[in-house]
Amino acid sequence: MRFRSLDIHLEQRLVGVLFQYGQGANAITRLQPEPGFWLDPQAPVLSWSARFADAADRATFVAQHAVQPFFNGQGERLPTFFQNLLPEGPLRRHLEQLRGCAPDDHFDLLAMCGDDLPGAVRATPSAQSRLATAAIVTQHQDALEASVVDDPVAGAVSLSGIQPKLGLVEAGGRYVARTRADGGSGVHIIAKLPAVDYALLPEVEALSLQLAQAAGVQVCRASLRPVSDIELQDTPFALHTGAHFLAVERFDRAGARHIHCEDFAQVLGLDPLDKYQDPQQRANYAALLLTLRESMGLGDEAAHELLRRLMVNEMLGNYDAHVKNFGVVYADGRTPALSPAYDVVAYAAYLGGRGHALRFFPGAPDRAQLTPTLVRQLCNAAGLLETRVRAVLRETVERALQAWPALIEASPLLPEQKARLLAHFQAVPAVQAVGRRRGRVPAR
């Protein structure tokens, strides 16, 4: 039977051995935990979904790893935490071709990107001996056909999303592959490139972040740069002269240091295929609010920041804010904080529509908007004080009404994109309500 394995490290500590035994639907794909890491109360947090404050609960969780969903994948699919580390979209297809692996070979794809995964996780070919792995997997009852897992590919970076992206490092005013930077130092960025199907997409996203910040949202650092600033000998994407890309600084990197983070698919234990909805109805905004406020102990401040982002998404027509578009960062390795807003895109500049990617709470209607009734129901579901939530949302709308029209008009977007975005913004129910009280937006 085929056997492959990877050593998984977090901040230089061995977390365990991720192995795959067999092939197809009957394969066993499991993280074999390293007790020294998992039983240490001071160990850094790998995932909030696998964190236990009580020592006895932690020991039971580790002892039952063979049946715990966190440690186990389904067939050849990785355990959900690791499945969410894989790249997506055009970059994923390019890396599969570069590696020469099958499109569904998630294990090899993780190994390929093992040096530059999101957060502080690293995956490298296992140093365990064949006898040790045989004892773990088959108790010496079956012969292992150990397959050699290739080392991570230099420069291979795992980035999610369907937009063309590159992982680069700023060096002397130019953007180069990580392997050309001095030991990984410099500012690590995600280069979001122009897309054929969406005119001026980098410019639209740059404006979206600017508008979100003007409305009071904490956003990631990003700037528009000429495509000519990218210095690569080989790239899977066409780099059009005269165009711009969006250089987004990675908040999970500080020079050569990797800072751990995870998205809410990982926090909630959801497979990336369930990022919009899942059978257990965990993919909803109330679940994010409850996790931040109560489970992580971040209180109302974090919940209110998330609500600002939801209001901004509604005003921008950002219909694609699923669970992987929100995350937390562990700056000290253990204490979570809501990460800066990222992947904020005003799709209203391109197409019509309304509402949000996720339901606000189990049983809520699809594509709902933040109406007074919906806000009351959301507050009840998330345990929030309705008057304070209304004040946060109203302040967000008021700041947008004051700043957005001029920012949209001054942007480099096409005239028709500006018109669509402004018309969508003015038609949002919350904007209509605040505007009527302030005399700024005519009633529709």
In this predicted model, what pLDDT tens digit does every residue of 246-262 receive, in sequence order?
999 999 999 889 999 99
- CA 389-392-398 angle, to 5 degrees, is 140
* CATH code of 268's domain: 1.10.1070
- State pLDDT tens for residues 2-42: 899 999 999 999 999 999 999 999 999 999 999 999 999 99
Residue 133 banded pLDDT, cuts 50, 70, 90: low
152 falls within a domain: no
- Residues 229 and 249 grouped into a single domain: yes
- Residues 287 and 242 grouped into a single domain: no
- Residues 187 and 276 grouped into a single domain: no
Residue 151 has pLDDT above 90, yes or no: no
- Residues 295 and 379 grouped into a single domain: yes
- State pLDDT tens for residues 401-420: 999 999 999 999 999 999 99
- Residues 273 and 299 grouped into a single domain: yes
151 falls within a domain: no
Sign of the Cα pseudo-torsion (407, 410, 413, 416, in order): positive
Q: Is 410 exposed, middle or buried (0-12, 13-18, 19+ CB in 10 A)?
A: exposed
- State pLDDT tens for residues 299-331: 999 999 999 999 999 999 999 999 999 999 999
- Fill in the DSSP letter of residue 88: -
State the residue for tokens 């994407």. 237
d(CA 269, CA 23): 24
In the chain, pLDDT over 70 holds for what percent of residues?
89
201 falls within a domain: yes
159 falls within a domain: no
120 falls within a domain: yes
Read off φ and ψ for residue 266, nearest 5 degrees: -70, -45
- State pLDDT tens for residues 324-337: 999 999 999 999 99
- Residues 283 and 409 grouped into a single domain: yes
Name the domain boundary from 195, 227, 257.
257
Q: Are 17 and 33 in contact (CB under 8 A)?
A: no
- Residues 208 and 192 grouped into a single domain: yes
How many domains, in total, are found in the chain?
A: 3
**Residues of the domain holding 216:** 165-257
- Residues 216 and 284 grouped into a single domain: no
| More confident site: 95 or 265 | 265
- Residues 333 and 400 grouped into a single domain: yes
d(CA 13, CA 5): 17
Name the domain boundary from 146, 180, 209.
146
pLDDT recorded at residue 443: 47
- Residues 246 and 262 grouped into a single domain: no
pTM of the model as a whole: 0.92
400 falls within a domain: yes
- Residues 368 and 237 grouped into a single domain: no
E strand map for 84-214: 121-125, 145-146, 165-171, 174-177, 187-192
- Residues 120 and 227 grouped into a single domain: no
Name the domain boundary from 98, 114, 146.
146
